[in-house]
Structure 1
Amino acid sequence: MSELSNIREDLPTSMTMAAFAGISWYVGIEINISLFMLFKRWSGLYFWSCALGSWGVILQPLFIVLADFGIWSNLSASISMIYLTWLIMVVPQSWVLYSRLHLIMHGEKMLRWIMVVLIFNSIVFSVPTIVIGTLAQATTINPSLPHVNLIWDRVQLVVFFAQELSLSLLYIYQTRKYLRDSSVLFKFSVFASPASTDATSEEERVLCHLIYANILIIALDISLLVIALLGVQYANLFYIQGAFKPCVYGIKLKIEFVILNSLIKSLRAHGSGTYGQSWSQQRQWRRMGHTESSGNETGPQPSGGTGVHLDRMRRGSDQTRFDPDRWY
């Protein structure tokens, strides 16, 4: 990478950084206010992942500005804080998505494997990033450390990009599958009232928005990867990519916060019916859709019109009731 320019003498770059920092602060503060006002219980994986991520979005550009413009002259302290805020900004992002994945994906074994991968990546690719980056930029103990840091920075960048991309694609796949199976279930319903039809349409709308939101998140991830890699190569983009990253993470967090909250409200409204059941239960409902509708157990059910008696469906040991507050 070529020699860095004096940022205090580069007005266009300084103004661009200020714009990205302003967006990051606005989004981060708004998410914090929404979190602490909307949540009755300040606990759980989802809540603290959103809280930590939003704090990182607020603090990361602040420390970058203080360090880049020489306001905070203690290099070791400023670099350490930049990397610590990077940690609480980047790592919780994937945990936000994971903490709501069970709403549309009920394979417990797969969810556990995803959790193991997230824990592994969160430790293996974040701790060395902080240690190597701080030593390389704040000390001179090893002349080869800056080169090692550049290589490692690209590695962790690609790993976290692939991780968040995989989660977004998984959301898209599982949501499409959920919509397809739900559509089949509703087609087999015997007592589908106009009210249940409207509720189903609302849920489908939210789920479609979830797909669109994850497509937008993937586009933001790609833009982040591109500008971060260019920032490593070109000095005039180095400062901009540092301010651009918190802005993108803030926008992603806001999108996830809004759409996942809409999703849980929609599914909670259907918690006693078809949409609140596990995949194995939904498959069983499809199998029984025609045969059970003519039995003695048909009649208006509290499930919203599936034609299948809920007590029968609840007797199986593998039938898990939907709990939207599971990760609170």
Structure 2
Amino acid sequence: MSRSTSSENIVATATAGVTGAYEGQSLAWKFSIAFFTGLTLYNALELVVLILVSFTRYRGLYFWSLLISSLGLIPYAVGFVFKFFSVLDGNLRFISVALLTLGWWAFLTGSNVVLWSRLHLIVTGEEGDRILKYTKWMIITGAIVFHIPTTVVTFGSNGDLDTTGFVHAYNVVERFQMTGFFLQESILSFIYIIETIKILRQSLRPETSRLMYQLISINIAIIIMDTGLLGIEYASLYILETVVKGFMYSIKLKLEFAILNRLVRFVGGDDTGGGSLTARSRSLTFVDTEKAQNPVAQRTNTNLSSNIPDFVDLSKVKTDYRYADASRIQRISRSREDDMYGTDIWEDNAKS
């Protein structure tokens, strides 16, 4: 009986805090709140410093989404510390709610935009354009559908009138939005995994394979962390879920920052202020068996293909590339260079 009562008390104190401060006496929960929010703040500040010293051009969707999502972790963590420990009482408590809500908007959707902003590096052709278009609208729709209702019930749960009704609504909406964001991030991660596997099948260079395996591992880790957060939410451990969420997203942003920077340099651009358009051709090696076995075709196409990267298999080209649309090639070249120097690719893809 004492064990069941004790476990019920633990769950009860864990679900407390939706409507206000943590009023329990458990040192374990107080330590957990302080520990995870401290780690979140440390990781966020470290990320901001790394971003500012790593980038020489402060522009572009990748830079701003990474910076904003990292900065968003700070008010999120501070807001929950103020809320759970009753740092601000009375009407001032809404400052805590506003801080954590603002930070939640910034880092949660921001981390998805970080992944999306570099998705164009591994998806190509018409299929890649469709993937970019649909995932872009998925992120925009998710931000509207999931953030707004959750914000309303969060403020309502911490208000003065009918908090019971708002708390019931919050429990439903919170699970709904967490499931939605879980599916959204999983879709982005699965796209990275699938497209990376395609590159691995074509690559013969060990350094390329190493980078692709790292990209796959990081996206698998993101899915695992999201699954863990979703499990904590469905277990109704509100305090644990809120403080662990900030910590896990700070880890995810660190992983994304590390691997996506390498991916940029691998493909051929460098948002940190340099890079070579031939980086990918040096990293990837494609075998053109038809040209290797046909010396006549190889001699015929020598001059025509001199400006074509080494990783292009001309035997797979179905059209006469000798009469390619020069204006289109120039547009593609300019878009690659713009992205290298930090142009906002969100707008570029929206126009297309």
Per the normalisation by structure 1, the TM-score is 0.80
Distance in 2, matches of 1:138 and 1:63, equals 16
- Structure 1 partner of 2:225: 220
- Structure 2 partner of 1:169: 190
- Structure 1 partner of 2:181: 160
- Structure 1 partner of 2:145: 124
Question: Cα distance 1:90–1:84, how it changes in 2: closer, same or farther (>3 A)?
Answer: same
Deviation at 1:288, TM superposition (A): 6.2
For the pair 1:36 / 2:43, whether they are aligned, the reply is no
For the pair 1:316 / 2:324, whether they are aligned, the reply is yes
Out of 114, 119, 135, the residue aligned to residue 135 of structure 2 is 114
Whether the aligned pair in 1 keeps the contact of 2:267 and 2:280 (CA below 8 Å) is: no
- CA shift digits 1:207-248 (9 cap, x unpaired): 111011111111111111111222x2xxxx332222111000
Distance in 2, matches of 1:12 and 1:49, equals 35
Out of 31, 40, 52, the residue aligned to residue 15 of structure 1 is 31
Distance in 2, matches of 1:306 and 1:108, equals 21
Secondary structure at 1:126's aligned position in 2?
Answer: helix
For the pair 1:257 / 2:261, whether they are aligned, the reply is no
- Structure 1 partner of 2:61: 45
Deviation at 1:102, TM superposition (A): 0.4
Question: Cα distance 1:31–1:273, how it changes in 2: closer, same or farther (>3 A)?
Answer: closer
Deviation at 1:88, TM superposition (A): 0.8
Per the normalisation by structure 2, the TM-score is 0.75
Deviation at 1:307, TM superposition (A): 8.9
The residue type paired with residue 296 of structure 1 is T
Question: Cα distance 1:289–1:208, how it changes in 2: closer, same or farther (>3 A)?
Answer: farther
Question: Cα distance 1:78–1:314, how it changes in 2: closer, same or farther (>3 A)?
Answer: farther
The residue type paired with residue 28 of structure 1 is A
The residue type paired with residue 70 of structure 2 is S
User: Unmatched 5+ residue regions in structure 1?
Assistant: 184-199, 277-281
Secondary structure at 1:144's aligned position in 2?
Answer: helix
Deviation at 1:137, TM superposition (A): 2.3
Identity %: 27
- CA shift digits 1:252-278 (9 cap, x unpaired): 0100110000111122267337649xx
Distance in 2, matches of 1:31 and 1:65, equals 21
Deviation at 1:101, TM superposition (A): 0.3
User: Unmatched 5+ residue regions in structure 2?
Assistant: 1-10, 269-274, 315-319, 345-352
Whether the aligned pair in 1 keeps the contact of 2:281 and 2:309 (CA below 8 Å) is: no
Distance in 2, matches of 1:295 and 1:258, equals 43
Distance in 1, matches of 2:109 and 2:202, equals 33
Question: Cα distance 1:145–1:176, how it changes in 2: closer, same or farther (>3 A)?
Answer: same
Question: Cα distance 1:99–1:138, how it changes in 2: closer, same or farther (>3 A)?
Answer: same
Distance in 2, matches of 1:240 and 1:96, equals 26
- CA shift digits 1:17-48 (9 cap, x unpaired): 22211221121111101111111221221111
Deviation at 1:143, TM superposition (A): 4.5
**1:10-159 correspondence to structure 2 within 5 Å:** 10-73=26-89, 74-106=92-124, 107-141=128-162, 143-159=164-180
Deviation at 1:58, TM superposition (A): 2.1
The residue type paired with residue 214 of structure 1 is N
Deviation at 1:51, TM superposition (A): 1.1
Distance in 1, matches of 2:245 and 2:312, equals 51
The residue type paired with residue 234 of structure 2 is L
Question: Cα distance 1:314–1:45, how it changes in 2: closer, same or farther (>3 A)?
Answer: farther
- CA shift digits 1:159-207 (9 cap, x unpaired): 0011001111110001111222344xxxxxxxxxxxxxxxx33222111
The residue type paired with residue 26 of structure 1 is Y
- CA shift digits 1:72-107 (9 cap, x unpaired): 112222222221211112111111100000000122
Whether the aligned pair in 2 keeps the contact of 1:289 and 1:308 (CA below 8 Å) is: no
Root-mean-square deviation (Å): 3.3
Secondary structure at 2:57's aligned position in 1?
Answer: coil
Whether the aligned pair in 2 keeps the contact of 1:7 and 1:14 (CA below 8 Å) is: no
- Structure 2 partner of 1:2: 12
Whether the aligned pair in 2 keeps the contact of 1:209 and 1:259 (CA below 8 Å) is: yes
168-177 vs 220-229, which deviates more? 220-229
